[in-house]
Amino acid sequence: MNEIWTEKYRPKTLDEVVGQKHVTERLKAYVAARNMSHLMFTGPAGTGKTTCALAVARGMFGDNWRGNFIELNASDERGIDVVRGKIKEFARTAPLEGAEFKIIFMDEADALTNDAQAALRRTMEKYSRICRFIFSCNYASKIIDPIQSRCAVFRFQPLSKEDVTAFLQKIVAAEHVKIEDDALEGLVHVARGDMRRAVNGLQVAASTGETVTLDTVYQTTGMANPEAVRAMLETALGGDFVGARNKLDEIMITFGLSGQDIIRQVHSAYYSLSITDSEKVRLMDKTGEIEFRIVEGSNERIQLEALLAYLVMVGGNKR
């Protein structure tokens, strides 16, 4: 494994960015005008925020883009000292290669402290002639209003199944990976709109050099087969507590999942069960309570078995 595929196949231009046409069309206008405002990219992980920031820099500055671009990860450098030091030093120096301005890219900006954000807004105004900011965050609500009001906001959406599938097929062809059709569908299901998760899952599953199967995908991505989870729930609803408990054992051992991982998949599996909406509501309520107990430190095994016991009682009321 000589190279990480998420970097090897990262789009270099805005035209290559997958599934965010509503964003890239607006960004292309900035690149064509060779000018831009401060920007804020917000949306789920793995949807192309960092890729778009790098593509904008390449489009603005050409081959020498690195001299006028700096990337900071706010989860590592999140305090006010970073704003007063590294950011201000870069912001007030003149652009290189005759460029009109430089770009500071703040990745995971929602991790910045409130003091750092407050200090940053003055820097944005003072050096706006020669420096532009791009903020990337998962939660726009964690960015203070004064910074949001200074930025053009771009909202990234989870990628569609078709976009993720097409991109994975491109990598499969380029890397000569042998993969079964249902395994590819499994990767798309695991990704849930996150391209980075899908590509990383494909690379790990393909690292054995053998044909990638559905079981390989689930074992290497830290998820249980949805059919196995559903079978466990249906066994419990059928009144067989011991059988459901055995299936829980099998899932936890085979796929190496924690209690929180299983709860998340159980939650997703409820929608495919042949029960009434009122029963689904009761199960959702109970599952939320169980999840809270696990997060607060309760024994996850006891709580998962308590959930199965509740399913047995729900199923018993139907018989």
Asked whether 194 and 237 are in contact (CB, 8 A), the reply is: no
| 74/59 Cα distance (integer angstroms) | 24
Average pLDDT over residues 69-83: 70
Q: What local confidence, expressed as pLDDT, does residue 77 receive? A: 60
Is the C-alpha dihedral spanning 178, 158, 191, 57 positive or negative? positive
In this prediction, residue 83 carries a pLDDT of 65
Q: Structure tokens of 178? A: 């042998």
| pLDDT digit string, tens, across residues 176-232 | 999 998 899 989 988 888 999 999 999 998 887 788 888 888 888 878 888 889 999
Give residue 92's pLDDT: 79
Split at pLDDT 50, 70, 90, the class of 62 is confident
Tell me if 208 sits within 8 A of 224, measured CB to CB.
Answer: no
How large is the average pLDDT for residues 21-37? 91
- Residue 47: phi and psi, rounded to 5, are -110, 0
The CA distances from residue 32 to 29, 51, 60, 95, 97, in Å, are 5, 18, 8, 19, 18
Tell me the mean pLDDT in the region 64-75: 82
pLDDT tens-digit readout, 123-175: 888 888 888 999 999 988 889 999 999 999 999 999 999 999 999 999 999 99
- Tell me what pLDDT residue 112 has: 84
Tracing tokens 């704003």 back to the chain, one arrives at 83
Residues with Cβ within 8 Å of 192's Cβ and at least 6 positions away in sequence, in order, are 158
Query: How far is it, in rounded angstroms, from Cα 187 to Cα 218?
Result: 8
- Short-list 220, 222, 189, CA closest to 204: 220
User: CB within 8 A of 306, min separation 6: which ones?
Assistant: 290
Reported as a single tens digit per residue, the pLDDT across 228-259 is 899 999 999 998 999 999 999 988 887 778 88
pLDDT digits (tens, 9 = 90+) for 84-110: 777 777 877 878 877 889 998 988 888
Q: What is the pLDDT of residue 82?
A: 66
Instruction: Report, in angstroms and rounded to the nearest whole number, the Rg of the chain calculated over CA atoms.
Output: 24
Residue 162 confidence (pLDDT): 92
Taken in order of first residue, the domains within the chain and their CATH numbers are: 5-155 (3.40.50.300), 161-220 (1.10.8.60), 226-318 (1.20.272.10)
Angle, helices 259-269/226-237, rounded to nearest 10 degrees = 80
Band the pLDDT of 74: cuts 50, 70, 90. low
Q: Which of 256, 247, 261, 228 is nearest to 305 (CA)?
A: 247
pLDDT above 60 (res 319): no
The answer, yes or no, to whether residue 114 has pLDDT greater than 60, is yes
Which tokens belong to 263?
């709860």
In this predicted structure, what is the pLDDT of residue 81?
Answer: 65
Give dist(CA 135, CA 61) in Å, integer.
Answer: 19
pLDDT reported for residue 133: 92
